[in-house]
Amino acid sequence: MTASLRRIVHIDMDAFYASVEQRDDKSLCGKPVAVGGNRARGVVAAASYEARKFGVRSAMPSITAQRQCPSLVFVPPRFEVYKAVSQQIHNIFRRYTSVIQPLSLDEAYLDVTTPLIDCGSATALAAEIRAAIKAETDLTASAGVSYNKFLAKLASDHRKPDGLFVITPRQGPAFVESLPVGKFHGVGPVTAQRMNALGIYTGLDLRRQSLAFLSRHFGKAAAYYYGVARGEDDRPVEADRERKSFGAETTFAQDLTAWDEVKPALASVFARLWSAYERGAPGGRTVTVKLKFVDFRQITRSRSAPEAITTRVELERISLDLLRSCFPLMLPVRLLGVTISNLGGEGHPSHQLALPFDQVADASTSPSVPDVMVGHRISVTA
């Protein structure tokens, strides 16, 4: 790589939650393991590689996973343990670079263009990080090395599990040519279907389209698709990103069908969300509610207030107003969630209109932590 090019490493832990469980309980080693709830309403949060051979994957209903793999062993999640292990891993990253962009507990981008420890090359540095993770946590990680974030992530997936793969500037454009567009980071199933309908199946097909054509069909995302089809991605690794939102949600043991059930069902959600919001960064102006139906489709509705939300009463009022507009329901609801975003408080102008809007979510392009089991979740995104 030349001095003008970035050196990016993408580290992705292998089946992280399930691997931690197998590490801590040796009786699980070699068995198909799913982290999550095994009740009828449960959902798989993570699956071991042994389970994946049977088609078990994250976000799959537990009942479906059990049907596909009768010998599947369900283990309840231990998020405090996963967070502690993640902290160990990020401490290892900090020895080598200060430019780290965490994506989740188990993956991160590292810009090692100017590393804290010179290992001779980005590839050697990635190998040393993987070895340190194995030695200190007894877990394996896969790493991708390239000159931009898009290709580094593709590279880390290429040799999973426990792999290291490099995509050089010379290899980049050719590497994406034969890749199905559904494998592109940022192209979810819904977008992939739209591309397929337009005759775009591979990276080469995407490269053949003009920017004007892509803009007509994909709007603001067109420039990104146009670039990555050519192996180009100018996005920097964003260290110390500001917190963007606070959210909490709950999955019901029985489907919710009537409006009278909504406010009692959200009591714990409002309590947990407001507690996190007060401790974190009060000053958010946008409230988003999420409804997930029994068929796993979901919709979100949002509204931006003219000033920062400063009371729980106001949060509840806006949330319930948004939810009320969804009734009568098209289908019973299995999950409700509320998020506060557009943080910054008074004096920070918003780029959103202070009007409600509806959005049918494409979960593939708006990833979130899956519902692990019947119960609650709270999240902070950055």
List, by residue number, the catalytic residues: 107
Residues 6+ away with beta carbon under 8 Å from 355:
303, 304
Which spans in the chain are helix H? 16-24, 49-52, 62-68, 79-96, 122-137, 149-158, 172-177, 189-197, 203-207, 211-218, 222-228, 262-265, 267-279, 312-324
DSSP state, residue 43:
B
> Can you read off the two tokens belonging to residue 318?
């806006």
- Of the candidates 374, 375, 372, which has an alpha carbon nearest to the alpha carbon of residue 36? 372
Torsion sign across C-alpha atoms 188, 219, 246, 289? negative
Cis bond leading into 328, ω under 30°?
A: yes
* C-beta separation of 344 from 244 below 8 A: no
Going from the C-alpha of 142 to that of each of 23, 93, 265, the distances in angstroms are: 17, 14, 41
Bridge partners (DSSP) of residue 75 are 35
∠ Cα 79 82 84 (to 5°): 110
Q: What whole-number distance in Å separates Cα of residue 102 and Cα of residue 238?
A: 9
- Of the candidates 62, 135, 274, 151, which has an alpha carbon nearest to the alpha carbon of residue 143? 151
